Structure 1
Amino acid sequence: MFRHPRHCCLSFSPLQQQCFAQPQEGEIIGGKVVVPHSRPYMAYLKIKVTNETGTYPSSCGGFLIRPDAVLSAAHCVVEEGTVKVTVILGAHNIRVQERSQQRIRVRNLVIHRNFDRDGDINDIALLKLETNATINAYVQTVTLPRHNEGVRVGTKCEVAGWGDTSFNGSTTDVMMEVDLKVQNDTLCLQQVRKYQRRSMMCVGDENGRKGTYHGDSGGPLICNQKAHGIVSHRPSGRLFPAAFTRVSHFVPWIPQQLRRFALQELPASPSSQ
């Protein structure tokens, strides 16, 4: 549901896997293990959906923008039924109860009112935490860009997450990272369905040997020490190119929603307003 095939793991394509030797123990295809706790803004979203067919789990990435608020992708949390989200901060190994971890439930969340699942347009969601995170060496906020602040084509950016590490479903318990370059919008306009130049970024590895995959959605693309992108989508069965939500386009929307949270105008369930 949340982790459908075209949604972004740090991986080679299936054809390229046939051309390279199998990784040794400890190696990660297309990416590498991060230095533990070197990305203190990272959030792991533990998602539970309950509807007529039952209850099922999912997961996504996100990032802390202030002690009580996390940004992620809309497609991670939009679903029919009841969506409950717990945010885990300060994690490296997500399967271990590390002392550095803070687990906080999401009180309210808002999905951009113009989010379009067909093409993942306006793929952004804001999550309000029940309690403020404790800011320390393991948990910190990340800087956002200015409104409509751009990133030059060719800029090397970083993306991290706990997503799958291959197309065949290999998983990781520890946070991984990969470097990706900002690409010319023309590339995505040609290859990514319904690509929107103003609200999306074209990103990827020209060789198609690494990129984001299942479970990484919602995580931040860090360029010049700012969270410029959100892992969103890419063409089916391919790692390159990928469309990321352009955070700078939504900078005015974010404080508007935070003010609404403060005024308690949002219900306790997901909203489309």
Structure 2
Amino acid sequence: MLLLLLISSAFVLPWAGAGRIIGGKVVVPHSRPYMAYLKIRVTNETGTFHSYCGGFLIRPDAVLSAAHCVDKEGRVEVTVILGAHNIHVRERSQQRIRVVRWVIHPNYDHDGNINDIVLLKLETNAGINEDVQTISLPSRNERVRAGTECEVAGWGQTSLEGRRTDVLREVELKVQNDESCQNEFRRYQRRSMICVGDENRAKTPYNGDSGGPLVCNQKAHGIVSYGKRHRLFHGVFTRISYFVRWIRRQLRRFALQELPASPSSQ
């Protein structure tokens, strides 16, 4: 879990850890069948700890998420839970599948949250049914215009103070002009990132929502990446259309790999 550090709100932080959507609403159970919950276990010389992220199913054997969710020091083990509404209840709809391999984008930069994308290979194919389904991706370099209304779902914090809920929540947010984020985030890149926010500063993804999809017009256009602590207007999302060619190439490689295999970030 990403600790809620006592630092200035001017610092840019990835939205990782056990957090909840702020200012949103509980979704109709299983109405977002592409959503994935990532349970992440990290073991290193200091001990073992757990963190949590979102993700989304794009093929029965593949989930997209944010690179910073699995970019940890030590041995990292990831389990994906599909078909969940209340993540702390063993619902009949849930499918728990181990991740056997992942690929972080080769140009990922943790310090600037640049190219913040990872593709995870599941040990077995997910069973596609009413509660578990894939979501479509945009075409290469397809862009969503400023002003477009989109949705973000997750199991993240419902307040800045860390209030928690176990059920999937969703918030509606609007795509903003790139200039808005360029003025606020020094390393914002318009080609590979999307600027999203709520003018009333009352709604945002937050800790724990990292890796979840920004859904616009029934396609996953973005991945929850980073924002500023205690500032609820602008959030930065990885622009999926910029990475479509890379995603397709990795999916072809996944299809050729023999399983089981060791998790990898290479």
The percentage of counterpart residues that share the same residue type is 69
Cα distance between partner residues in 2 of 1:212 and 1:231: 8
Task: State how many pairs are aligned.
Answer: 254
Corresponding residue for residue 253 of structure 2? 260
Please name the residue that 1:7 is paired with. 14
Please list every run of 5 or more consecutive structure 1 residues that lacks an aligned counterpart in the other structure.
Answer: 12-29
> Structure 2 regions of 5+ residues with no counterpart?
6-12
Alignment correspondent of 1:201: 194
Post-superposition offset of 1:3: 6.2
Q: Distance in 2 between matches of 1:103 and 1:34?
A: 21
Q: Is the 8 A contact 1:152 1:182 kept in 2?
A: yes
Structure 2 counterpart of 1:117: 110
Counting only pairs closer than 5 Å after superposition, residues 119-198 of structure 1 correspond to structure 2 as 119-198=112-191
**Number of the residue aligned with 1:59:** 52
Contact 2:40–2:76 under 8 Å retained in 1:
yes
Inter-partner Cα distance in structure 1 for 2:21 and 2:256: 40
Alignment match, 2:264:
270
Q: CA RMSD in A?
A: 1.5
- Cα distance per residue 1:54-111 (max 9 Å; x no partner): 1100000000000000000000001111110000000000000000000000010011
TM-score normalised by length of structure 2: 0.92
For 1:73 and 1:222, locate their aligned partners in 2 and report how far apart those are by CA, in whole Å.
15
Deviation at 1:252, TM superposition (A): 0.2
Q: What TM-score results when the alignment is normalised by the length of structure 1?
A: 0.90
Deviating above 6 A after TM superposition, structure 1's stretches of 4 or more consecutive aligned residues are none
- What are the residue-to-residue correspondences of 1:39-50 with 2, within 5 Å? 39-50=32-43
Contact 1:192–1:235 (CA under 8 A) maintained in structure 2? no
Amino acid aligned to 2:21: L
- Displacement of 1:37 in angstroms is 0.3
User: 1:4: Cα distance to partner?
Assistant: 5.9
Do structure 1's residue 210 and structure 2's residue 203 form an aligned pair? Answer: yes
1:70 aligns with 2:77: no
CA deviation profile, 1:227-266 (whole Å, cap 9, x unmatched)? 0000000123212211100000000001111222223289
Q: AA paired with 1:84?
A: E
Q: CA deviation at 1:2?
A: 4.4
